[in-house]
Amino acid sequence: MEKLEKIINLAERRGFVFKSYEIYGGVGGFYDFGPLGVLLKNKIKELWLKDILNMPNIYLIETPIIGPRVLYEASGHIENFYDRLVECKSCHKRFREDHLLKGEYGEIEIKDNKALCPLCKGELTEARNFNLMFKTFVGPVEELASESYLRPETAQGIFVNFKNILNSMRAKLPFGIAQIGKSFRNEITPKNFIFRIREFEQMEIEFFVRPEEDEIWFNFWVEKRFKWYTDILGIKKENLVKHIQSEDELAHYAKKAIDIYYRFPFKEDEIEGIANRTDYDLKRHMEFSKEDLTYFDEKTKTKLIPYVIEPSAGVERILFALLCDAYDEDEVPNEKGKLEKRTVLRFKPAIAPVQVAVFPLLSNRKPLIEKAKEVFGIINNSSIIVIYDETGSIGKRYRRQDEIGTPFCITIDFQTLEDNTVTVRDRDTTKQERISINEILDYLKDKLKI
């Protein structure tokens, strides 16, 4: 099995990610997150928030998913946010023109000056614009005045709150407004598991700066965000790439953009983009709303329209990158000392969805079970994410935890009943240490760096 297939298989089997509506055949581009997937997503968001809210001038907000048509006229999404769609006249499969041109379906055969379908060699239609926003209507009447859209980015909710934050928080440049939330894009061809999906979660910051300081802050955010992936999430540096967007990759609002790419098993691609959106959005919202969205600079006693640097990250793509980065196979000795193959997710302990597992050595000895539940209770009362497992042999229980990346397994054995110590087994070295129950919390917090 290919590595990618193994990762997807593990993600489904162990409760990270499931296909949405699978009992009805599934709907392309939608995924459910199981218990471990939710834990991992929460960790990603928590660590992102912790990292940016450390800065003194970032304000977190939450805005609706549905926005009126005028919002997306102002933002330029109605006019510009589309992909070029090509359809096969025989098999009716739809393709993104840029994907065909990039060779994602192999070399395209040309016959009589016409491109042929890479799947069935049928004739392809001319490319047409396909807007990626989901349209809906607010209220009972389906008319232009009630036409609305599911947001394609959380950013616009931020821009329309620029004045509110200025006034209510007395914000001074440079400052940022951040938001975590769902966004929606009606992708023509959702693919590569949870990489290109139609409903996803974004973590975005619009960082407002003086126009002349845009370059400095752009570079600041590229470095700060890159470091978050390596130092906080523990993603291997060699698997990350900074990609400078070319002229024709740039979004309609961007002057410059650098993407952080992860080397996925299928190809390297974006997990975060840092864009210089200039004063495009505030200007457009001023024009369409007729509201004054300027900033009064007390230093120079003049009005200005700030520039915006936007770091924008996708939670599901980061989760996918973490799974790929952590996935490993090796051999470890089993209970009889014989080498056995195992699958292990080598998450950095602080990011692991489950951080500690507690086992009684045997499941049919009451004193062991009682003690194990007591230890579980002590850890469960802290901020550490811990689970209890008493089924199967110890070797099997270790394998189960290795496979979901649990860094530490604690076993309560007969010695525990005599001297109140437990064994703590390290996922990566598989070495065990005896630790007193009285010291177990301090020991774990130190190892987990929390």
* Phi, psi values for residue 56, rounded to 5°: -75, -15
Stretch binding Zn ion (CB under 5 A), from 81-89, 154-162, 179-187, 312-320: 81-89
Based on the shown chain and the rule CB under 5 A, indicate whether residue 138 belongs to the binding site for Zn ion.
Answer: no
Comparison of 90 and 192: residue with beta carbon closer to Zn ion: 90
Give, as ranges, the residues between 245 and 284 that touch Zn ion (CB under 5 A). none
Place of tokens 């809210």: 53
Stretch binding Zn ion (CB under 5 A), from 19-27, 55-63, 119-127, 135-143: 119-127
Comparison of 120 and 216: residue with beta carbon closer to Zn ion: 120
Q: How far is the CB of 94 from Zn ion (least distance, A)?
A: 10
Q: Are 371 and 411 in contact, with CB atoms under 8 Å apart?
A: no
Q: How far is the CB of 121 from Zn ion (least distance, A)?
A: 7
Task: Tell me how long the chain is.
Answer: 450
Based on the shown chain and the rule CB under 5 A, indicate whether residue 108 belongs to the binding site for Zn ion.
Answer: no
Neighbours of 149 (CB within 10 A): 23
Neighbours of 340 (CB within 10 A): 13
Based on the shown chain and the rule CB under 5 A, indicate whether residue 120 belongs to the binding site for Zn ion.
Answer: yes
Comparison of 109 and 340: residue with beta carbon closer to Zn ion: 109
Q: How far is the CB of 118 from Zn ion (least distance, A)?
A: 8
Q: Which residues contact 36 (CB under 8 A, 6 or more apart)?
A: 14, 15, 16, 353, 354, 404
Q: How far is the CB of 120 from Zn ion (least distance, A)?
A: 3
Phi-psi region of 205 (alpha: psi -120 to 50; beta: other; left: phi over 0): beta
Based on the shown chain and the rule CB under 5 A, indicate whether residue 119 belongs to the binding site for Zn ion.
Answer: yes
Comparison of 88 and 448: residue with beta carbon closer to Zn ion: 88
Comparison of 115 and 260: residue with beta carbon closer to Zn ion: 115
Q: How far is the CB of 26 from Zn ion (least distance, A)?
A: 22
Stretch binding Zn ion (CB under 5 A), from 114-122, 296-304, 317-325, 372-380: 114-122
Site string for Zn ion, 417-446 (x = CB under 5 A): ------------------------------
Q: Count Cβ atoms within 10 A of the Cβ of residue 38 and give its class: 0-12 exposed, 13-18 middle, 19 or more buried.
A: middle
Specify the pairing of strand 240-244 against strand 82-87: unpaired
Q: How far is the CB of 28 from Zn ion (least distance, A)?
A: 17
- Take residue 326 and report the two structure tokens written for it: 């952590």
Q: Which residues contact 313 (CB under 8 A, 6 or more apart)?
A: 48, 202, 203, 204, 225, 271, 272
What single letter denotes the amino acid at residue 402? D
Q: How far is the CB of 109 from Zn ion (least distance, A)?
A: 12
Q: Are 413 and 435 in contact, with CB atoms under 8 Å apart?
A: no
d(CA 332, CA 392): 18
Q: How far is the CB of 93 from Zn ion (least distance, A)?
A: 5
- Take residue 151 and report the two structure tokens written for it: 């947001």
Comparison of 89 and 445: residue with beta carbon closer to Zn ion: 89
d(CA 36, CA 20): 16
d(CA 214, CA 195): 30
Based on the shown chain and the rule CB under 5 A, indicate whether residue 117 belongs to the binding site for Zn ion.
Answer: yes
One residue of 15, 68, 122, 234 binding Zn ion per CB under 5 A: 122
Q: How far is the CB of 107 from Zn ion (least distance, A)?
A: 16
Comparison of 53 and 91: residue with beta carbon closer to Zn ion: 91
Q: Are 409 and 355 in contact, with CB atoms under 8 Å apart?
A: no
Comparison of 93 and 256: residue with beta carbon closer to Zn ion: 93
Q: In 175-327, which residue ranges form alpha helices assigned H by DSSP? A: 214-227, 280-289, 315-326
Comparison of 92 and 172: residue with beta carbon closer to Zn ion: 92
3-state secondary structure of 139: coil
How many residues of this chain interact with Zn ion, rule: CB under 5 A? 7
What single letter denotes the amino acid at residue 102? K
Give, as ranges, the residues between 88 and 107 that touch Zn ion (CB under 5 A). 88, 90-91
Based on the shown chain and the rule CB under 5 A, indicate whether residue 76 belongs to the binding site for Zn ion.
Answer: no
Stretch binding Zn ion (CB under 5 A), from 116-124, 188-196, 206-214, 423-431: 116-124
Based on the shown chain and the rule CB under 5 A, indicate whether residue 60 belongs to the binding site for Zn ion.
Answer: no
Q: How far is the CB of 244 from Zn ion (least distance, A)?
A: 35
d(CA 119, CA 104): 12
What is the binding site for Zn ion (CB under 5 A)? 88, 90-91, 117, 119-120, 122
